[in-house]
Structure 1
C-alpha cells in the first residue's frame, strides 16, 4: 500500500508497477514487513534538495516510519508515535529516510526514548531492519539497497530535525515555493 502522490487527494491504495499490483515479497528469514510501516503526514522528501549528510536528493514522497510496537495496525490507521531514531536508506540514488518510532499507546512505549533503547530492549531488531531494507528489492531483480552512515541509525534528535526539515520542504511545496515534480497536491 502506498500514498498515491500523483492522484488527487493522495489516497492510500495498492501500489502498481508497470501495470501490475506490487506486493512486498518474503525475503528469508522475514515474512513481509517486520514493523507497522507508514508515513508522516505533512512531510516531503524534496527531490530538488540534496541532503548535506547523505549527498543525495529526496525521493519525492512523505517521510517513512517504522513502528516497532506490539500492535498490528490496520491499513490507513492513524497513530501517535514517539520518535526513537532514523536510518538513511539510499534507494536508487535518492535519500529515503526511515524513522524508527513506537506507538505511544504501546504498553512498552515508556521504556523507549532513543534508538539505543531499541538496541538494548529488542536485541537484533535494528540489524534485522537494515537487513530487510537492504534485501527487499532482490526478488524483483534489483540490486541490494545502500545506506548513508554505513547503515548506522542516527539518534532521536537527528530524526526529529530530519522530520522538521521535511515538514519545511512540504510547506514550501504547498505554498508553491518549490516545484512539485509529478505530485498532485
Structure 2
C-alpha cells in the first residue's frame, strides 16, 4: 500500500471508459483541525442534470473514487465538536438530490418516484429548500432499531442536515459544520432526524453555539423550518407531517447524542453486525470493513455505471402553492 493510501485508510477499530460529461472540481475542504493539513475532496459528474442517469461521484485528495457515505470521516477532529457535512441540495433549489445509499460508492443522484424525477414544491413564501441541505457521513438511522426518545425506528438513511449559514453552497461540497440542535420529524412511522447546523466558515458562525442562538440571531428561521417540514408533502396530496416532542427543537447536547448513536449504527452496518438490507457498503478507506475494496476496484465500479445525457424539463419549480395554516 502506498504511504498516502495508508494515511487515508480509516479503521473502525482505531487503525489507521471515459465517463460522459465529466467535470472535476475542488470541493470545500473537510479539514482535520485548525492549523493542520486539510483533506480536499473533488467531484466528478456522469451524465447531466436533470436526468435519471445523472450521478455525482466523489474523489479523495489521492484521486481515488470514494463513498461520501462511508469514506468521509464524521468528525473533523476528535477533540472538537466539528463535523463534516456533504451538501446534497443548494439553498433555493428544488431538485431532490440525495446520496444513493443503495448504489456502489453512493454517488449523489436525483430521487425518482413513479418514474419521474422528484422536486420539492415551492410553498409560499419559500422557494425550494430554505437551507443548504445534506447529510452527515458515517451515520445511519437503523430501520430495525427503535429510538428510545421517539419510540420509532430509523428511516434507513444518513442523518439529514439543514445548514443555516448565509452562503449558498454547491452540490457536492464537503464543509465543516457546528451542530446547534435537532428536530424529530416522524415520516410514515419512521424517525427522520433533521439537524440544524452552521458552516464554520460562515461570517456569522462565531455567534452560534446552541439552538437558542438561532432563535436570537435568525428570528423566525426555526418556525419556518418547522412549517417547511410540516407542509412540504401537502402539494403531493399527502397529509401534514408529524413530529416528536410536539415539534420542539432539541438543543446541541441532545443532537450530539443522536449523532453519536447514528454513528454507532453505521459502524455496525460497515462491520456486518446488523441487517443493512439494500444499503451498499462498498468503501475504499475503512480498512477493517468486510466491504472494503481497492482503489482499482472502485474505479471499475464507477466506469461500469451507465451515463444518460437525456435531460428532462421541469415545470414544477415554477409552480407556487399557497397553503392555509
> TM-score interval w.r.t. the shorter chain?
over 0.9
**Pair 1:165-2:261 in alignment:** yes
Kindly state the Cα deviation for residue 14 of structure 1 after the two structures are TM-superposed.
0.9
* Structure number with higher helix proportion: 1
**2:126 corresponds to:** 30
Alpha-carbon separation, structure 1, partners of 2:104 and 2:114: 20
Deviation readout 1:103-141 (Å, 9 max, x if unpaired) = 000010000000000001111100000000000111111
Alpha-carbon separation, structure 2, partners of 1:91 and 1:28: 22
**Pair 1:96-2:192 in alignment:** yes
1:177 to 254, 273, 278: 273
2:177 to 81, 89, 96: 81
TM (normalized to structure 1)? 0.99
- 3-state SS of the aligned residue for 1:79? strand
- 3-state SS of the aligned residue for 1:99? strand
Match runs of 1:1-185 below 5 Å: 1-185=97-281
- 3-state SS of the aligned residue for 1:119? helix
Kindly state the Cα deviation for residue 6 of structure 1 after the two structures are TM-superposed.
1.1
TM (normalized to structure 2)? 0.56
Alpha-carbon separation, structure 2, partners of 1:18 and 1:171: 33
* Bigger radius of gyration among the two: 2
Runs of 4+ in 1 over 2 A off after TM superposition: none
Kindly state the Cα deviation for residue 143 of structure 1 after the two structures are TM-superposed.
0.9
Alpha-carbon separation, structure 2, partners of 1:8 and 1:26: 32
Alpha-carbon separation, structure 2, partners of 1:18 and 1:181: 22
Alpha-carbon separation, structure 1, partners of 2:204 and 2:102: 37
Deviation readout 1:129-181 (Å, 9 max, x if unpaired) = 00000001111111111000000000001101111110000000000000012
Give unpaired runs (5+ residues) of structure 1: none
- 3-state SS of the aligned residue for 1:71? coil
Give unpaired runs (5+ residues) of structure 2: 1-96, 282-325
Number of matched residues?
185
